[in-house]
Structure 1
Amino acid sequence: MILLALPLVLAGVGAGLWFSGILPGMLGRHATEHPAGEHAEPAAPRVPVFVAMPDITANLNAPGRRAFIRLKSQMEVAGAQDAATLQAAMPRLVDLFTTYLREIRPEELRGSAGTHRLREELIARANIAASPARVTDVLFTEILVQ
């Protein structure tokens, strides 16, 4: 029993020391070291680009009553090239957003959880419509539900 358990315990301890960074430090290897002759310069901070979306007004899925949403938003993308791709896909984006908003019930938009779900769904749809551009966030400037 000891002959079987001892190698497993030693392997577990070794893996723990390796992944915690203790063992590479003891061996003189550091994660921040670079190969000889190469000096890594810090990457320039990424400056996001914001693309304004047209205002969207849509009726919500509320049987027996009238409910509307007015949405003003901006899309955050990684760079100017993604912004140009997003602008070119703007008619498709507006169509996808309007179609999605027409299927939402007013109860689904209540509270911060509803706003967060809406943001996640719009990001997913924007990334599909504007591919290969990558939308990193949707920023709401106005959400009005009546």
Structure 2
Amino acid sequence: MSAAAEIPDQEPPKGKRRLVPLLVVLVLGAAGFASTFLGLWSPAALLETVSDRGAAEAAPEVVFVDVPRIELNIPGGRGRVLVLSTSIETDQAQQGEILHLMPRVSDAFATFLSGIDPGAYDKRGVLEIIRGELLTRSRYVLGEAPVKDLLITEFLIR
């Protein structure tokens, strides 16, 4: 009977068994942090695919194509004139196509701007609305691929 009573005393306490996995996790976490901090590897590099690396290196050069300056009288009898200059952001390969279709782009811009209510120019946020509409019209004329963005370089009401 004395041998049966001694067997439960030989087991290690349950608290020490729970502490071992916690210590292993802490040591591995500290080793991972230290190796990343020292620059041995990068977690972001593991998530990046091979095609992403090639696309970043072969990114096309950005080109800005100027749209001819538009000056038009704002109807309403107050004698105000709108002056607008814009540039279309594209890549080198699409520049020729945009220059070829520039008369259509200018026509689409002038048609839209002449149809705006004269009171709208006095409202807040009109520049953002005009920019969005001109971008939509340039993509309608040129297509989605050539037009990356539209920049308003001059907006003047005198």
Q: Same fold (TM over 0.5)?
A: yes
Q: Alignment partner for residue 59 of structure 1, among 54, 73, 77?
A: 73
1:119 aligns with 2:131: yes
Q: Which deviations, in whole Å up to 9, do the C-alpha atoms of 1:124-146 show, x marking residues without a partner?
A: 00011112643122212211112
| Structure 2 runs not aligned, ≥5 long | 1-45
Task: Give yes or no for contact 1:59–1:101 (8 Å, CA) kept in 2.
Answer: no
1:50 aligns with 2:51: no
Q: Which deviations, in whole Å up to 9, do the C-alpha atoms of 1:80-101 show, x marking residues without a partner?
A: 1221111111000111111111
Task: Give yes or no for contact 2:61–2:92 (8 Å, CA) kept in 1.
Answer: no
Q: Which deviations, in whole Å up to 9, do the C-alpha atoms of 1:28-58 show, x marking residues without a partner?
A: xxx8386xxxx44612245321001111111
> What are the equivalent positions in structure 2 for 1:1-146 lying under 5 Å apart?
32=47, 39-40=50-51, 42=53, 43-44=56-57, 45-60=59-74, 62-77=75-90, 79-110=91-122, 113-131=125-143, 133-146=145-158
Instruction: Work out the CA distance in 1 between the residues paired with 2:132 and 2:65.
Output: 17
Instruction: Work out the CA distance in 1 between the residues paired with 2:87 and 2:48.
Output: 41
For normalisation by structure 1, the TM-score amounts to: 0.64
Instruction: Work out the CA distance in 2 between the residues paired with 1:33 and 1:69.
Output: 48
Amino acid at match of 1:70: V
Secondary structure of the residue aligned to 1:55 is strand
Identity of aligned residues (%): 29
Residue 33 and residue 116 in structure 1: after superposition, are their counterparts in 2 closer, same or farther (change >3 A)? closer
Residue 64 and residue 112 in structure 1: after superposition, are their counterparts in 2 closer, same or farther (change >3 A)? closer
Q: Which deviations, in whole Å up to 9, do the C-alpha atoms of 1:80-123 show, x marking residues without a partner?
A: 12211111110001111111111113432346621111111011
Instruction: Work out the CA distance in 2 between the residues paired with 1:111 and 1:65.
Output: 16
| Structure 1 runs not aligned, ≥5 long | 1-30
Cα RMSD for the two superposed structures: 2.4
Task: Give yes or no for contact 1:69–1:145 (8 Å, CA) kept in 2.
Answer: yes
Amino acid at match of 1:65: R
Secondary structure of the residue aligned to 1:54 is strand
Residue 109 and residue 134 in structure 1: after superposition, are their counterparts in 2 closer, same or farther (change >3 A)? farther
Decide which structure has the larger Cα Rg and report it.
Answer: 2
